[in-house]
Structures are given as C-alpha cells and as structure tokens.
Structure 1
C-alpha cells in the first residue's frame, strides 16, 4: 500500500476542474498532491527520507522549515505540495516541490505554477532523489502540465547543480521554451582546507592584522567567548531564538521596522522553525559574548543530502554599540574555522545577497542562482515565456533603482 494516499482532500481544484490525483503519462511514477495536514501526518517520514537522499540539500523545503512557513507565512495563498512517488517501491518519493497557482502570469492568460517561497526562503530548488534528477524533473513538469498549467516559475533555484542540469536537458530534448529573468552569485564556503589555512588565503595580511587588533580591543572590555547552546535543551533553544530577536530589534532593522520581532507571523514562524530544526538536529547557532552578554549571533540551518550535510546561514544580528570592533566579521571568521574543521559538512551557503559587502570578502567560492520560467508544453509560445521573464527583469531593475534612490535620499537628509 502506498504511503502517500489519494484521498479527496489531496486533490486540488482549478477553474472548477479536479486536479488529477495521479499522473497517467508515466505508469512508473505517480503524482500525489498533498495538503499541509497530509505532509505533517503519515507522509512526513517519506518526505524526510527523500530529503536525506536528495541530490541537492534544501532545508527550506524540508519539514522543519517548510511546515512552520506554511502555517505562519502563507497567508491566504493556497499552497499545495507536489510529491512524486515511485510505484515500483510504494511510499518511496523521488521528488517534492511546494507550489502556488495563479490563473495568469504577468498579464498573460496562462495558468502558472510557481515554486513557493516565503519571505524567509532563500533556496527553491526541488528536493529530488540523487540519481533520479531526470525522472524527477520530468515528472514535475508532466504533472503540472496535466493539471492544466502552462508555465512553471522557479525563482531562487541553484543554477550549478545536477537538478538544474537535468532541467536544462529536459527543456532542450522536449522543445520546451525556457527563459532566465535573473542570474546572480552569492558567497559559498566549500574547501578542503582547514579553517586557519583558508582564512590565511582568503583574507589579506593587512585585514587579518586589523581583525586581530579589533579582537584584542574587544577583549579589553571583558572575557570574549564563542558559544553554541545545547540544542537538546528546549529552554536553551528558545533562549537563543529570543536573544537573536532582541539583538535584531535593537539594530537598524528595528529602526527600519523590518525586524522579525516586529512582525508577529514571522516571529511565530521563527520560533517554530528553531524548535523544529533543533529537534531534528539541524539548528546551528553561534554567539559571541563579552562577559556573558551577547554581542552578535548567527543562526545556520542544516540541510540533508545524499553527499553530506549542507549548512545555510539564515540570519545574523549584532549589538551596534560594539560596531567599532567589527563583531559580525569576527563571528564569521570563527564560524569559518569551525565549519571547515568539522567533518561531514559538505558546504555552507551564505544565503546572502549578491555582492555582499562582508561575506563576499571572507568566502571565496560562489554559488550561481537563477530565476527561471519554463513552458510545460512545446505548444506554449516561446514569446510568452520570454515576455514573463522580461517583465520580471524590468521589475527587478526598478526595485534596484528605487533602493538606490532611497539610499541617496537618506544620505542627503
């Protein structure tokens, strides 16, 4: 008996037509549409097993981060979870992707599925079993096509991994139109060097001397320690979460009104995600303290994968009264040492914006990301796909220009 059920609540409705519970196009792979409740119930073990064997780790689509996001950050959006099951091994998933559906795309009357991202989702690559990248991507596209959807939008997808490679081959061999609206790089830590050797190669001698000086000046104020809380202690987990929120709230984000603590839904998500990740052994905080008082804290989430664990930097916050000592840099340097000196961590994704002024100068490696729009059928006009991507590019450019204008206004005030 299949672990993923086909009960009526898993069926979607689109323009008054029931979405198929199974995909008939490939008899080996079955499409299962899951609700939030389905995924949090008996299907959760199958989901976790897939994540542990994924070709590319993505904690944002694992249960410890996605379920709290669905509960607190989805609003009124109807999000459904697309699971692809291997009928030769009932209950064994080969692919998983949360999607939201719209009736149009950038003004075009084309029903569209978008890989769902909350405001705190920094990677939207589907979970696909290693060795099944082609089958997984093909089943995702076929399932959405048979559900009546014409376009698939995949923002914040890793562009340099086996899943993206499988998607490229799929679109080429099936004459599916595809367009990239944005491509960018962000800092990644992936090296065979130990921590000290890596820092010596990545950071100039002049900068290392300056950071050492700042570290000594900070130590003049009191005992400097780097601590990781006991993630098996629920009170310690909640304490770290609360401490982080307080640091962030007291910073420029609090003054700008963008701190997590100022947004109740985000605060609830944050606490639930920290609890769930800690319970799964996938929350990795690091705090720098002076005489026990927190100066700066960073939170990493762990992502499972067939080739080892990846870590993903979620947020960092610091007490701005210590800004002259560059506490964020000192913490990142210590984190770099620990990450590279800990066996089993395949890589760490900074999840940072491109051209980040701090982490880009510490971590040499880069991860290429892209926002891509794909036709589900060769009969969808290529012009429609490229139009949607062009509108996206214009919107991104307009937002970038707006931020620059606002920054200039603030500097001149």
Structure 2
C-alpha cells in the first residue's frame, strides 16, 4: 500500500487502461482509482498519452460530484498545502476565471485587508487575450512575484495582503495536467477546469473563497448556463473541502474599465484606490469585497468607507513595498501610439471584449506561449464606452506598443470591436448571478 498525502492508494490494483476504459464507458471512477491515477501521473508513471485519453473521456462523460471532489482532493494531496492557521485574521481569497481589463484583484486585495481580513492571493500570468495579475504587477519597478513561504506568511501577518506566484510544490499534478489539456482539446471540460482552479485555491489554505466567473465574449465561458455549471461545480468542491465558497457570475461582454494591458491597468487600479476610477471597476471591486468580507465572517464592515478614507491605498503601498516595488515610481510607457477613430456619427452600441483583448495581445501586452515576454507599457485605452455618442473622426481608443509594426494589426482588431449604431444599447448589471 502506498500513500498520497494521507489518501490510501492500492499499489498494483489498477492499470491506466482500466481507468481509461471505465470512464470511457460512462462509469464513475472509484476513490481508489482516482487516488492511484493522480499519484502515478504525478510520479511520471502514467503516460501523457494515457492521461490525454482519460482527459478526453472526462470531457465527454463528465464526473459526478463525488468523483470531482475526490479528484480535486487527490490533486491537492499531490503537493504541499499552505498552513495559514497562525493568521490572527480570518483568511479569504478570490479567483477570477479571466477576462479583458480585469484588474480587480489589484484594488480588491488591499481593500479587503484594510477591512480586517487576511488575503493570500496566489495569482497567474496572462495567456492569449486575457491578462495576468502577475504581469500587471511586474510593471511596477522592483516588484517581485516569487516569495518563499516564510516571507509569504510574514507579509500576510504584517500587511494583511499578498499577491504572488504559486510555488512549484503547490498541486503539481495540476501543473502537469494543465499543460496537457492545452494541447489535447480538453480545456473546455468543466470538471477539469473546476478541479484545476479549486485544487490550487484550496491548497493555498484560505478559510473562505469568492469566485468571479466571467461570462461573455471576452471570457472563457461564453453563455450563462455554462458559467453557472462551472460555478456550481467549484462551489460544491469548496464545500466538500470545508472551505466556505461562493461564486459571482459577472459580465465580460465589454472590457472592464478603460485600460487593457499591464502598466495601464495598474494605473487605473491606483485611481480606484485613490477614490476615483471607472464606475464598473469600482462597483465590481466593492461587490466582491462585500462577498469576501461576508464569507470571512466580517459582514458588518463597509469596504466603501475603507476605499474613501485611504486605508485601502495604505495597504496597497505597504504590499507593493513589501515585495520590493516602489509605489511612487513612474510606470513604463510604451514607445509608440496610434488612435482608432469613429468611421461615422452614431452611438457606440458595443465594445467587444474579445476584440479589444486580442488587440492588446497584438500590441505586446499578452503572450502566445507561457515562456513569451510581455511589454509592460503596451495596451489599449478606451476613450468611448457603450452608450456614448460619437461623431465621425472622434477617437474611440488609443493603442500603445513598443514596436511600430504592431500598431497596424492591432488597429484592425480594435476598430472591428466597436459597433456604432443609431440607438442607445440596453444596459445591464455587471453582476449577473450568485451561486452558493
């Protein structure tokens, strides 16, 4: 008998083919099959081509709640789990499934910390049209993303908030499977998405979690039904693991705020912390802060007050300094810029999040592969939003890049993202639904 972080595993009771066939034929995997699979895959004894076949079977056949909970538990147990029990404050984390202009973590973590919770935020990098929190913060001179556990815990105790990269020992099974899903057409599997996100988040050790599940053209989940299914799966996993979890379904048909990129999103986040910023960014930041404080057991704390009186800004500055950054240093500015102008009079009826995200990627703000570098100063600044009236020739957005030859392809994408009509578009809330 072998062990997997406290899970009992039977040595030679299974083969990879047995497990693949079971799921292929629509059977629920047993706890022992799941534990064995994750253990031997993490050790490199379950071949990538076999895990690819199993991932496709899971995509096609799905997983029950019990299977998904056990699968996630085994992935957590494949590595270390942070112990935050020494925290004097209640611990709460937030995760977004990714969007365009989604800089919410930047003002949110210090805001919630300013209200009395501890926020251990392990974040990632951008890929494709969606931005990454670490890429944004790395545009601040001196700021570092990688912290040893001892420094992470000390900063959490002293400052109340940490945003950094996850260590390699955190859910290593997920790291292997995540890379495999990307090249085997199984990224869309809701059980695999849910277990990937929740294995890392639960391994962080926070006592509560708020999920921001994006819905729309700029999000991974394009429709509300898909997003609700993912949110429900993740909330169920959290509950089974003893982590109080709620999910908010939020709109990503239009970019969040006016800035899409890295340094430009940091600048907009600082505006929010200073009491300004776009209304949609402020509104979603406060909505998520209230949810985080509620699940952390601090429901009577008013995050709007902490934003207005400067306490959140104080925590932001302390958090940036603690990780080597200079909160007063000028942010990088791209070398060249170009404007996209309205082709005719009318009303902006839509600004497609996906098109603007792809334009920012073309400008150098994102990456095609994980190892690619990003430009800190590149990005898109929106000058018009849905509902704004425009005249022919007025600026719709500004593009910024370090290399002039990036501007032309990005301008085509950005121009196509704007729809100009005759009538005012319908308006709707940013928060579409809540699960949990």
TM-score w.r.t. the length of structure 2 is 0.29
Which has more strand, going by share of residues? 1
